[in-house]
Amino acid sequence: MQLLPFSPKQAASIRDATERVNLWDGSVRSGKTVASLFWWANTVANHDGNGDLLMVGKTERTLKRNVIGPLTELLGSAAVSLKQGAGEALVFGKLVYLVGANDERAEQKIRGGTYSKIYGDEGTLWPESFFMMALSRMSTDGAMLGLTTNPDSPLHYIKRNVIDRVDELGYRRFHFTLRDNPSLSEAYIAAITAEYTGLWRKRFIEGLWVMAEGAIWDAFDTEPHTVTELPEGLEFKRYTLGIDYGTSNPFVALLRGDGSDGRKWVIDEWRWDSAAKQ
């Protein structure tokens, strides 16, 4: 792996990720993983042995591909080695446990453990139960979690319970964009920026936490496609009501109008979630 000098964002994250929870998030290919790996290498090298070391991915296989492989390239095979079939690795001669967090049962894998330092890959793919269990096992003084992820839904627990509460909880967040990766060429940045549109562009290129999963029209964008007030003088020639009937799932009704401007408008919405209200 050929390394260029760190970008200012990368350097700052390696230096300043000193809180209980430290998050690297943002657009794809933005350099956040490389920065987090250097942070992890320094963290392991300085580990005093009080509490165990843990690395987590969606599965052990993806952890080895996304993290252990690049870490080995960065540090060399003499510094990083896998104990095949044991779910363990040695980093600078120190034992590191490897765990996959692929479903709700995964939290059982770390019950009873005491972890001083945890590295997490693709945090939005972890079940919330695993994330909360990991926090509960970080009971040593100076315990830290370093977590990388691409953006997901603004309703995701990482957004609601970590990013939105960074100041309240004393966490640290480092938000990356394509410009924070010094290894990317201008041609690549221009190409990938042009290839993505709508919500996917906002999420994967701009690194924003916006709704995308389950969207019927993935080109929908709240800025050009919504208004706070209807245009003055707008009249409707016909009204229709769209209903998505639900009992265990939310019931939604949308009132749509054919506007005198030739556009179709969603004028009003009624929503009932039986799971939240009785």
Amino acid 131: pLDDT: 98
**pLDDT of the chain, 278 residues: tens digit per residue:** 556 689 999 999 999 999 999 999 999 999 999 999 999 999 999 999 899 999 999 999 999 999 999 999 999 999 999 987 789 999 999 999 999 999 999 999 999 999 999 999 999 999 999 999 999 999 999 999 999 999 998 989 999 999 999 999 999 999 999 999 999 999 999 999 999 988 888 999 999 998 765 555 655 666 677 888 888 889 998 999 999 888 777 888 999 999 999 888 998 888 887 766 65
Angle in degrees, CA 187, 189, 194, rounded to 5: 95
pTM of the full structure: 0.77
- Three-state DSSP state, 235: coil
Query: Minimal CA–CA distance to 110: which of 136, 142, 148?
Result: 136
- Three-state DSSP state, 239: strand
Residue 229's φ and ψ, nearest 5 degrees, are: -140, 145
CB 146 within 8 A of CB 120: yes
Q: Which residues of 153-192 are buried (b: 16+ CB within 10 A; e: fewer)?
A: beebbbbebbbeeeeeeebbbbbbbbebbeebeeeebeeb
Amino acid 230: pLDDT: 86
Q: Which domains does the chain have, with CATH numbers?
A: 8-205 (3.40.50.300), 227-272 (no CATH)
Give the integer Cα–Cα distance in Å for 24 and 7: 14
Angle in degrees, CA 40, 42, 47, rounded to 5: 90
**CA quadruple 125, 155, 40, 5: dihedral, nearest 10:** 110
- Three-state DSSP state, 111: coil
Judged by phi (left if over 0) then psi (alpha if -120 to 50, else beta), residue 33 lies in alpha
Give the integer Cα–Cα distance in Å for 127 and 115: 19
Interacting residues of 67 by C-beta distance below 8 A, sequence separation 6+: 33, 37, 55, 57, 119, 121
* Strand duo 251-259 + 94-100: pairing: unpaired
